[in-house]
A and B are shown apart, each in its own frame.
Chain A
Amino acid sequence: MTDYSYPAPTMSPDTRPAPSRYGQTALRWLLFTLLGLFALFYLMPLFVMVTTSLKSLEEIRSGSLVAFPRDVTFEAWRTAWSGACTGIQCEGLRPYFWNSVLLAVPAVLISSFLGAANGYVIAQWNFRGANLIFSAMLFGCFIPFQVVLLPMARMLGLMGLAGTIPGLIFAHVIYGIGFTTLFFRNFYVTIPSDLVKAAKVDGAGFFRIFWSIFLPLSLPIIVVTVIWQFTQIWNDFLFGVSFSQAGTQPITVALNNIVNSTTGIKEYNVDMAAAIIAGLPTLLVYVVAGKYFIRGLTAGSVKGLMQ
């Protein structure tokens, strides 16, 4: 059926003046050059870090900052991993790397799981005050870390968790719930409530519906949450430096100590290698799960995940 009463579109593609072929090509080249320059600008620090970490100390002192290494040596990496001094100990980053793993993995898993459960309840089980609770949790996302330092320290002390890795896990889980709940709630809100009704009629209860129906379809948002939480917790410095003690410090604190321990000469190559080591895991997570990250961020707007 055609309705002729509508006026024809005034700017059909054909009537527009066609840009010349050369103009178009030039525009494209300009665009790519500009993008390339931006990419270079962003990659420059990484380039300096990588090349510096592969140089010997003499080469750094004699050569230019942006030159390629003449003799590639992994000595600085070895030192950073297992020999660099953080204050009085000279064990490198290795023990702190494992501290961070022991801290980040449970904290990410627990906060993501709690966020999923909260989001499920808030989005799919309407109860009085659900929106109020959600707003309060959202508010938690905007409280700066510094504000909670003292109360949190007091609380960890009362719980007997001060200076321990479980204490740090606790702090990160509490601080992460707001964000993880937000992610999962916004994801579950897009799922028709008929699904819960159908499962109820089928006889499934609250937890059964969560386990068998909601968690399996949450993969995209789980990936988003895990990346977000892992990056936050792995890169965190403030909680790490405030709530840890010698032996339980995460890698960010150790990195700071390595760079700031000035015993004579400044070993730039070791500093750079250590910084890369500290940043690698988050990079790895992005590379492995990045595809799902974009997908998960746009999941709410994509039709077809549901039927």
Chain B
Amino acid sequence: MTPILDIQNLSKNYGAVQILNDVNVAIDPGEFLVLVGPSGCGKSTLLNCIAGLEPISGGAIRIGGRDMTQVSPKDRDIAMVFQSYALYPTMTVAKNITFGMKVRGVDAATQAQKLAEVARQLQIEPLLNRRPGQLSGGQRQRVAMGRAVVRDPKLFLFDEPLSNLDAKLRVSMRSEIKKLHQNLGATMVYVTHDQIEAMTLATKIVVMKGGVVQQIGSPAEIYNHPANLFVADFMGSPAMNLIPARTRRQGDDVQIEIARAEGALVVRQASYGHDRPADVILGLRPEDIVEAGFRSGATVQAAKCRIDLVEPAGADTYVVSELGGKQVTARLHAETKAQPGAMLDLAFDLAKVSFFAPDTGERLN
């Protein structure tokens, strides 16, 4: 199967400043690709390069197997939804949606038919004669999506489309975009800085930092096997606990020592390769540290820890302790009896542990 979008060795400079460095991404038809990273990581620039709104400095972009590097945006068979919606302020909703068809010289009957179709699909029929200024944020968002859907493109591009909405609307529009993706079976590229949006929407995530791709993978891969410390810290909320530790070999067994005020916490780890360094950073998600007794198995090890902070969050209660000089968050049941200042037996599920090299930040296991 030819990938719908194939980016090879793409680079982008503004003068001496390198914005994108050797980006390689390919997606198959029907995939939902999310570009995620902190602001300034180059994700929006990458999207603009895919759209043809920014010239690229090196590499190639193929859409549907065709080299698009020199092709203008209108001939790339794409549609784009912008963060500011970018609706044409003096045109009605209907005119906004049909503007592209009008420019391309589609006949009036087809325009009307497609408009009606899209309006029904996105439930914006009552709004067709209004102007963007008379719409609420969520309605504008729908119209902007309508303008993209009506084009029926090979590739949809979304540039942080939800970041101007309030929290509640954002969640509901997020599901709508997901539904739209399922109903249309379309291929989408979506830019966001919100890792939750990335996790919920994507079939494939690209994590970026400083113009360099850090990891590409399914949401589960990114979440469970982050490729380096940056990805581990960026994806997930609360973030993955990253605990500095020392390892000590005793025959085949390896003991992992975590420094703390009450004396070192020692855990055993059987599967630790011989070529790995003595100093490591141990990565463990908050949900893999639970109250003792709630999880069992060969890989679960319990230890008494002093609880510094208790944060009830409704469904769960987060407790914070200090290990290896770092704040470590554990996710406990809502009914936990944990008290700040008291000691509590916590169980660490080491089956899920990630090891990172402290110097390079790369994943070791």
Contacts and interface: CB of A to CB of B under 8 A. Distances in A.
Interface of A: 192, 194-195, 197-204, 208, 212-213, 216-217, 304-307
Nearest to A218: B90
B103 A307 contact: no
Contacts of B89: 217, 305-307
A215 to B, nearest CB: 9
A203 B86 contact: no
B88 A213 contact: yes
28 contacts: A194-B85, A194-B86, A195-B86, A195-B88, A197-B51, A197-B53, A197-B82, A198-B82, A198-B86, A198-B88, A199-B88, A200-B53, A201-B51, A201-B73, A201-B79, A201-B80, A202-B103, A203-B74, A204-B99, A216-B90, A216-B91, A217-B89, A217-B90, A305-B89, A306-B84, A307-B89, A307-B132, A307-B133
Contacts of A306: 84, 89
A171 to B, nearest CB: 34
B80 A198 contact: yes
B204 interface: no
A307 B91 CA distance: 12
A134 B87 CA distance: 28
B78 interface: yes
A149 to B, nearest CB: 42
Given A201-B100, A202-B103, 9 more contacts: A194-B82, A194-B84, A198-B147, A199-B88, A199-B99, A304-B133, A306-B89, A307-B84, A307-B132
Contacts of B82: 194, 197-198
B301 interface: no
A204 B74 CA distance: 8
Nearest to A219: B90
Interface centre among B79, B88, B132 (most CB of A within 10 A): B88
Interface residues of B, number: 28
A109 B51 CA distance: 37
Interface of B: 48, 51, 53, 72-74, 78-80, 82-91, 99-100, 103-104, 132-133, 135, 140, 147
B132 A203 contact: no
B83 to A, nearest CB: 7
A197 B86 contact: yes
Nearest to A198: B86
Contacts of B87: 198, 307
A273 to B, nearest CB: 44
Contacts of B78: 201
Contact of B100 (A192, A202, A213): A202
B15 to A, nearest CB: 11
A305 B131 CA distance: 11
